[in-house]
Amino acid sequence: MSDASSALPHAPAFDGRIRARTRSIVDFLKIAFESWSGAFGISILALIVVVAAFSPWITPYDPIANHFNAAGQLKRLEPPSAAHWLGTTYYGLDVLSQLIDGSRIVLIVGITCASFIAIIGTNVGLIAGYCGGRVDAVLMRITGLAFGIPFIPFAVVLVALLGPSLWNMILTISLLMWRTTARVIRSQVLSLRERAFVKAAKIAGASDVRIIYVHIFPNVLPMTLLYVAFDIAWAVLAEASISFLGFGDPNQVSWGQMLYLAYVSGSIRQAWWWTIPPGLGLSLFVISVFLVGRQYEKLASPRLR
């Protein structure tokens, strides 16, 4: 008969899943909250998204309206006050309204560019990695070219040729920044295509196109999405850089443009209320994207050995 003392110290139940499977949005978000950095990151991102979505309704003033004081003079470079929480710019515009309005660009540029980059980069990576041979060589040459071209001079030239508009900026950013995604996806595909399930699909009669998009693509999708996250941050920084150099869209309020105007008007040293908010905004955005991205990156490696 069995001995009661041979019973084990009670091991708590283990749910048996080594890798968290994200089947629902809730699970997806829960992962971000697993660490302080992730929670911080996603909170900031959520804040920016909400602000950008509701910006037309929450700006205290029209972002491009000039403000005059009682004497009829332009309220230039006023420090923060009750009427203007973040003060005014050199041109008498309310900084807070500009800040809120500028968040829209962050999202628009970020998401649009990241989507284009994902589409171009993933497809290049898939096709180059799977086909190999000459196709691979040609595509990698093009990718190498994209790596070789320096971003700012290229952007400057393109904007000078096509004119400074939001779409031209998105185009410029997307035309170059797919290169990293392409390389990363390609190396994943190189190892995936040797796996037995790809062989099995081939033997069953699947065409190459089917194998690439139906069999291999779902397996590189997590990596694509991860890079999409980082690309959002890079795209936003790229836009800010172009705008800061004065090549941005003059009709759009953006954080980079705010910094540009502060610089150009000579007030960059004194008007801290004008420069710190957009600068901080950009920094926080990029940091948050990286923090959240890092949390999801941990998904790629198994937790238990």
Q: Are 291 and 228 in contact (CB under 8 A)?
A: no
**Closest separation in Å from C-beta 18 to another protein:** 8
Cβ nearer to another protein, comparing 26 with 196: 196
In sequence order, what are the residues at sequence separation of 6 or more whose Cβ sits closer than 8 angstroms to the Cβ of residue 92?
66, 67, 68, 74, 75, 76
Cβ nearer to another protein, comparing 209 with 276: 209
* CA 57-60-65 angle, 5° bins: 105
**Closest separation in Å from C-beta 32 to another protein:** 16
**CA 34, CA 157: separation in Å to the nearest integer?**
44
**CA 239, CA 282: separation in Å to the nearest integer?**
11
**Closest separation in Å from C-beta 26 to another protein:** 18
- State the Cα torsion 291-295-301-305 to the nearest 10°: 110
Cβ nearer to another protein, comparing 29 with 47: 29
Cβ nearer to another protein, comparing 9 with 72: 9
Binding site for another protein (CB under 8 A): 1-3, 6-9, 11-16, 19, 195-197, 199-206, 210, 215, 218-219, 221, 303-305
Residue 262, number of CB atoms within 10 A of its CB: 24
**Closest separation in Å from C-beta 197 to another protein:** 4
Cβ nearer to another protein, comparing 29 with 206: 206
**Closest separation in Å from C-beta 296 to another protein:** 17
